[in-house]
Amino acid sequence: MSVSRCLVPMFLAVFPIESQALAEPLPLMGVQQIVAHRGSSVDRPECTLPAVRRAIAARATAVEVDVRTTQDGHLVILHDATLDRTTNGKGPLREHTLAEVRQLDAGSWFDAEYAGERVPTLQETLIACRDKIDVLLDLKEQGRDFAIAVVAEVKQHGAPERTIVGVRSVEQARLFRQLLPDARQLGLIPNPKAIEPFAEAGVETIRLWPRWLDDDNTLVERVRNTGAALHLNGTTGKREEVLSLLEHSPASLSSDDPGQLLKTLAKLHLDRDKQ
């Protein structure tokens, strides 16, 4: 099974200039999953509910968010281990309670329009996504207690079959396969040596960093040989970047600008059909 196992048809006429291509469901150019990185983080403050809602409106098929724990054991969405960059708080998240974190402004750093936005909980994020979009959980912590807490939230407030668990160790992959068997897994591997061990643990999709491909042209073939699907990270979603990623025939792409990525894929799809 690939990261795109449970995709539902999408009708993307929100982009009129590419309406002919976007009237078709994915895949476009072979891409089956469009992941909004930290939400639609190009035009909304990352890892906030506005970024999640914008990803849904832009017709991404999955939204990626980072899961961490507060001092008092609550699960929240925050990329960094510290509060400094994306809130008006200071210091490590783990040194603050949920009540303290919820008092922080998580939007002004991006634009004054988003002043007062809060760091969302995992529960709020799952509820916002339920029945609308797949959720890719980038697990920033390890351990059984953390896994049990994440699984409980997904089962109560989300949908396991529309959840993609971003696992960062073989042990974590095996643990989540036991605890949340209906979810898919994306291997956020630490280095190319981990391709085969992650695949052997049952991870359906492997993330390779594009920079790795510059140093070793065998990596994509190694992923294919395991039977896993390929995920690549992009940022801008613009033509030059997308063309370079499509050379490797990924099943899944991520972008800070999922709307632009979809428009680029649609345009490339139309151009190919005209040839």
Give catalytic residue positions. Answer: 37, 79
Nearest to 114 by CA among 44, 178, 52, 184: 44
Pairing of β 62-69 and β 134-139 = parallel
How far CA 9 is from CA of 26, 60, 218, 271, in Å, comes to: 7, 12, 33, 22
Start-to-end C-alpha separation, the chain: 32
Half-sphere exposure of 109 (CA within 13 A, CB side): 17
